[in-house]
């Protein structure tokens, strides 16, 4: 019976993927994560930029009953996500400081009526008592923490609201366990452990993407004895390198503005 239920959900996930996103199949990482989510597992997904981590929670959000709350660090990210979802016909909203009182109330009304599947908020919204009391009356299917490295990197000193996410989840569900998903493209092993600890994620399915890019490589050249004014491998090297790669894109990092000006003249 469990197998049949899982198969049915997977078929539904593929149907949603095709209908809304236009793809026939999930990428390998997406498929593994979505399978875990459909099995009601908590998830920590560490995926490269462009790997499609948003689909990993958006598709299950359309399958499960209730509202999926997505905690996002930036207003611009919320707006981009919601605008993109609306363009493909998915009911999504964001709540942040840019909304008027009338806009805010209309969003709450749509949520109350079950007309919104994904709600994007900042961690600071969790400090708003009126919002907490409202959201506690709504059936929540999942809580997603996007850019989850912020929990570790910003939570202690910069944006302490990130440290209250676990308490928020416990409050809105009266202690009943609810699926918690965390996604990021930036997490060292230490940060990975810190995210799980601070969000109180129990027994998560952890997926770490392959970060190797065949079209990108690093080369380190020892600058000992070269032009100290440029603090890199001398002007002749740069001139020769630029000549060999004429017409190609690239970035040269410098330690000072003067170095930038010197290289620009080259």
Q: What is the mean pLDDT of residues 120-144?
A: 94
Domain annotation covers residue 213: no
Confidence at residue 119, expressed as pLDDT on a 0 to 100 scale: 98
Domain annotation covers residue 152: yes
| Token pair belonging to 237 | 């090297």
DSSP E strands in 185-238: the ranges are 205-208
200 and 128 share one domain: yes
139 and 84 share one domain: yes
73 and 176 share one domain: yes
Percent of the chain scored above 90 by pLDDT? 55
121 and 96 share one domain: yes
81 and 161 share one domain: yes
Confidence at residue 1, expressed as pLDDT on a 0 to 100 scale: 40
Residue whose C-alpha is closest to residue 230's, from 199, 209, 258, 210: 258
Q: Is 27 helix (H, G, I), strand (E, B) or coil?
A: coil
Cβ within 8 Å of residue 94, ≥6 positions away: 75, 78, 79, 81, 82, 119, 120, 121
Domain annotation covers residue 30: yes
Q: Please report the DSSP string for 105-160 in residue order.
A: HHHHHHHHTT--SEEEE-GGGGG-HHHHHHHTTSPEEEEEESSTHHHHHTTTTT-G
- Residue span of the structural domain in which 245 resides: 218-266
Whether the Cβ atoms of residue 40 and residue 202 lie closer than 8 Å to each other: no
Q: What is the mean pLDDT of residues 201-210?
A: 90
Domain annotation covers residue 66: yes
Domain annotation covers residue 52: yes
Query: What's the structural domain count of the chain?
Result: 2
241 and 142 share one domain: no
Q: What is the CATH number of the domain that holds 156?
A: 3.40.50.300
127 and 231 share one domain: no
Domain end residue (candidates: 160, 183, 208): 208
Residue 3 binned pLDDT confidence (cut-offs 50, 70, 90): very low
The structure's pTM equals: 0.79
Domain end residue (candidates: 169, 189, 208): 208
251 and 120 share one domain: no
Confidence at residue 174, expressed as pLDDT on a 0 to 100 scale: 76
189 and 222 share one domain: no
164 and 190 share one domain: yes
143 and 226 share one domain: no
Least confident piece of the model among 34-48, 63-77, 115-129, 154-168: 154-168
Residue 125 binned pLDDT confidence (cut-offs 50, 70, 90): very high
């Amino acid at each position: 019976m469990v197998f049949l239920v899982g198969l049915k959900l997977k078929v539904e996930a593929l149907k949603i993927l095709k209908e809304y996103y236009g793809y026939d199949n999930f990428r390998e990482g997406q498929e593994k994560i979505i399978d875990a989510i459909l099995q009601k597992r908590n998830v920590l997904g560490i995926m490269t930029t462009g790997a499609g981590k948003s689909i990993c929670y958006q598709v299950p959000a359309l399958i499960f009953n209730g509202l999926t709350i997505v905690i996002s660090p930036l207003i611009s990210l919320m707006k981009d996500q919601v605008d993109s979802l609306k363009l493909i016909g998915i009911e999504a909203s964001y709540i942040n400081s840019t909304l008027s009182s009338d806009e805010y109330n209309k969003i709450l009304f749509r949520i109350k009526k079950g007309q919104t599947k994904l709600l994007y908020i900042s961690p600071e919204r969790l400090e708003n008592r009126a919002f907490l009391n409202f959201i506690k009356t709504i059936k929540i299917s999942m809580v997603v923490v996007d850019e989850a490295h912020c929990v570790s990197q910003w939570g202690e000193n910069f944006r302490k609201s990130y440290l209250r996410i676990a308490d928020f989840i416990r409050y809105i569900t009266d202690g009943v366990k609810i699926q918690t998903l965390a996604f990021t493209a930036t997490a060292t092993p230490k940060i990975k452990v810190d995210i799980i600890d601070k969000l109180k994620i129990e027994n998560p399915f952890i997926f770490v993407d392959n970060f190797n890019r065949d079209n990108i490589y690093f080369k380190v050249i020892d600058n000992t004895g070269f032009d100290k004014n440029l603090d890199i491998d001398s002007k002749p090297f740069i001139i020769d390198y630029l000549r060999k790669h004429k017409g190609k894109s690239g970035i040269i990092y410098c330690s000072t503005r003067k170095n930038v000006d010197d290289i620009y003249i080259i």
